[in-house]
Structures are given as C-alpha cells and as structure tokens.
Amino acid sequence: MKLKKLLLAVFSVSLLCVSCEQEDIENTTPEAEAEVISQDKVSKAVLAKLEALNLNTEDVEISEFVLPDGTKKQTFIIEGDIAIDAEQLDAMQPGNITSKQYRTYNLVSAPRTLNVVGWTGGSQSLTQKQRDALQAALDNYNEIEIGLSFTLEFSTNQAAADIVVFQNPNGAAGGVAGFPSAGNPYGFVQIYSGMEAFSLGTNTHVMAHEIGHTLGLRHTDWFTRQSCGRPSFGELANPSGAVHIPGTPFRLDPESIMLSCFSTNEDGEFGANDVVALEYLY
C-alpha cells in the first residue's frame, strides 16, 4: 500500500492560494459567464454546473494559470490538479451514463500522433530531471499499443505543439492539466518546481498522470480521494458521474498512475489497469 501521499496539484489549500489573488465578486445572473470566475469563491452557479457534469465539487479553487508565453488565465482547479477554465466549463455537457479506472465524456480523436513540446524558455523551462521524466513518461505511453502516439521536442516552438509541458516556478509539488475538448488534448501541463526534490520515478509518475488528464482520464479514486487520506467509506460526489472503463476495478487500485495523490517513492510505471483503460479508450 502506498503511503505519504501528496496532492498532485498542491498538498494544501493554503499553498494553492499562494498563486491566487483573492477578492470578492458581485452576484451575477446565470446567463453571465463572468460569474464563472470568482477571485474569492466559486459561485453557486458554477458549483451547480460542476455537479451536473458529475465532477467532484469538494474544495474547488481558483488559480491563475500562467502559460509559457506569459499569458495569464484564471482557471478552476478541481480535485487538486485538474484545470477547467470558464469557456471550457460552459462548453462541457453532461453525458448519459449506462455504467459506472474512470474517464471524462471528452476524449481525444484517434488515431493520431500528438506532438509534445517540453518548454525550454526562461523561468518556466523544464529542468533536466523534468525533461528526463517527460521523455520516460511518453516512452511508457508509446509502448502501449493504442491509437495515439507521441513525439517530443524540447524547444519554445509552441505553435507546433498539441501539448506544451512547462515548469511553474512556485516551489510547490505536483502538477496541473485539463481535459480534452473538441477532440483535442488539453494543450498545457504545468509541473511545479518543487518536483525537483523528488526522484526521477516520482517525476515520471506526475508527468504521466497529468498527460493522462489531457487525454481524458480522471482520478481513479475521484469520488473518495482515498489516496489522499480521505475516508474510504461513503462518497463525496455522485458515483455514477464518471464513466467507468470496462475491465478496471471499482475499488481503489493502489497501483494506478491516476490516483488523486502520489507517494514519495513512485516508479513512474503504469499499473496493469491503467494499460487496460488506455487500450479500451484508444
């Protein structure tokens, strides 16, 4: 059993809020998308939308997502490391669930090759350890016989990338990514600079986990957050809200790379059920 679990985005709400500038917002009508982003708190309308999408609404936070070119975008952080902005939230629609490892309703169009750029510019440049981890994570994906393959270059050529992986120099541990939209993977993966304190295997695990989100994989324990030390009984969100992938367990799978939290001694390798999930989806 894996112990000493760490949140993949940030271990505590206080750490996450270091990168958030907080202020109050005014009440707005449901039609106004401006209500989607609040500096101080998430509006009831947004929480209702997230609940309708069967996302876990526990501890939803707001963060400033800084892209490699310096562009800043306010984003909801859900389940610790999943980024969804206002535009994407508005476009996402609930699906019909006929069954209950988990995926979103949004997947990447396949077969295709996805071009990944490991960022090499300025303070958001990946360290050598992070570059090695990204290469190892993509090698692991490419070893699975699925309809997606990955190329990798280390550059600042953002225009050529389907996914840009870059460092957030805020000193926290973990990473943040988002879900696919319009058949394309989420375009950005942030890896926090605090990962430099961890092994290559743990960095590889985090890279593979965040890339998994960009392909539509959800946390395997999204409903209880059991890997983060939450109680294993009961559920924090509607259990039929994530699409169960046939052939994978309903129970906690301690070997899954898509657990909500990670340990300090990860090896970066997929669990057997992760492979089943990816082969089924792609």
Q: Which amino acid is at 131?
A: R
Is it the case that residue 81 has pLDDT exceeding 70?
A: yes
Is it the case that residue 143 has pLDDT exceeding 70?
A: yes
45 or 119: which leads in pLDDT: 119
- Residue 100's pLDDT band (boundaries 50, 70, 90)? very low
Instruction: Calculate ∠ Cα 177-260-195, nearest 5°.
Output: 65
Q: What is the mean pLDDT of the chain?
A: 77
Residue 234: what pLDDT?
Answer: 44
Residue 236 CB: number of other CB atoms within 10 A? 16
pTM of the model: 0.72
Q: Which domains does the chain have, with CATH numbers?
A: 57-228+238-281 (3.40.390.10)
d(CA 139, CA 149): 9
d(CA 203, CA 136): 10
pLDDT tens digit sequence for 266-279: 999 999 989 988 99
For residues 40-54, average pLDDT:
77
34 or 214: which leads in pLDDT: 214
